[in-house]
């Protein structure tokens, strides 16, 4: 059974059709990257999957269940999690306190402290744990956000441009984190502009253009596709 199936998803704002019949299937255990020019509708698709937006028509099926009418919290309860483009950490609290807020939903007492330590280690933020989150570097803030997004151990993790603004080294480390999560069984769908990251992690790539699936394949198939190259011409970044 597929983990996620998007069937003919349509979302319009007034006359602007942002997603226009999106069909996309994610298999359990895959790392899938979603690319496409700015304004293609990628972030909107994530908001539809999480339930922040509701589609005008179409269906969202998660682990065999039609979740199209469910509210966000019910989708999160079923194992969906999102890290959006803009970091949403509590800037005035410490790194440790941020993770404590996320982890105390599931854990208490000594177990909570052990889970915080484990997550700090995973994120490489042990020595920053007493720092105020607002004082972290841009990359570290992104990692803290990933930590909060994975705190409930989701089955499907959605990442919206996780490496935006990162150095090549930070981008590579983020790729390694994603691969370790995936090795632990997590399915990942990542919106990305950085082709080095896509090449590092993606088992499959989907190109979204004008609110529709324009192409799909391995990274090598996608970069060799001249139709894909053509839709990026004239864009400030790919
Ligand atoms: P991407 O993430 O691929 O860059 P987005 O999904 O953010 O694209 O946006 C696609 C289009 O949808 C843009 O033209 C954007 O202005 C429009 N859009 C997104 N959200 C809204 C909204 N809430 N109201 C009106 N237009 C929106
Ligand atoms: Mg954009
Ligand atoms: Mg976006």
pLDDT 10s digits, 136-154 = 999 999 999 999 999 989 9
The span from the CA of 186 to the CA of 30, in Å, is: 8
Tokens 């990305």 belong to: 192
Distances in whole angstroms, Cα of residue 219 to Cα of each of 25, 200, 207, 209, 216: 17, 10, 10, 17, 9
Residues linked to residue 17 through DSSP beta bridges, in sequence order: 12
The span from the CA of 91 to the CA of 114, in Å, is: 23
Distances in whole angstroms, Cα of residue 38 to Cα of each of 80, 207, 209: 24, 12, 9
- Model-level ipTM above the cut of 0.90: yes
pLDDT of residue 234: 60
**What is the CA(216)–ligand 2 centre distance, in A?**
19
**What is the CA(140)–ligand 3 centre distance, in A?**
21
pLDDT of residue 238: 44
Among residues 206, 87, 217, which one has the least CA distance to residue 142? 87
Nearest CA to ligand 1 atom 13: 39
**What is the CA(92)–ligand 3 centre distance, in A?**
27
Q: Supply 192's token pair.
A: 């990305």
**Helix residue spans in 78-216 (DSSP H):** 95-103, 109-123, 138-149, 168-183, 195-201
Q: Is the CB of 43 under 6 A from ligand 1?
A: yes
Stretches where the chain sits below pLDDT 50 are 236-238
pLDDT of residue 235: 65
pLDDT of residue 214: 97
DSSP3 helix / strand / coil % (the chain, rounded to 5):
40, 25, 35
pLDDT of residue 233: 78
């Amino acid at each position: 059974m597929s983990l996620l199936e998007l069937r003919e998803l349509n979302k319009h704002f007034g006359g602007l059709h942002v997603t226009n019949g999106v069909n996309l299937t994610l298999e359990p255990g895959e790392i899938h990257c979603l690319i496409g020019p700015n304004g293609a509708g990628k972030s909107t698709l994530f908001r539809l999957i999480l339930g922040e937006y509701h589609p005008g028509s179409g269906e969202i099926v998660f682990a065999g269940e039609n979740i199209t009418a469910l509210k966000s919290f019910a989708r999160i309860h079923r194992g969906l999690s999102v890290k959006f483009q803009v970091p949403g950490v509590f800037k005035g609290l410490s790194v440790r306190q941020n993770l404590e807020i996320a982890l105390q939903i599931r854990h208490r007492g000594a177990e909570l402290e052990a889970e915080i330590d484990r997550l700090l280690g995973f994120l490489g933020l042990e020595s920053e744990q007493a720092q105020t989150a607002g004082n972290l570097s841009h990359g570290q803030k992104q990692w803290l956000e990933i930590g909060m997004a994975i705190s409930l151990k989701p089955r499907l993790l959605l990442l919206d441009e996780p490496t935006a603004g990162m150095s090549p080294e930070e981008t590579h480390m983020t790729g390694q984190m994603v691969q370790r999560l995936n090795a632990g069984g997590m399915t990942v769908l990542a919106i990305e502009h950085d082709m080095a990251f896509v090449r590092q992690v993606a088992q499959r790539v989907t190109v979204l253009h004008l609110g529709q699936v324009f192409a799909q394949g391995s990274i090598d198939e996608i970069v060799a596709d001249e139709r894909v190259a053509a839709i990026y011409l004239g864009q400030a970044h790919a």
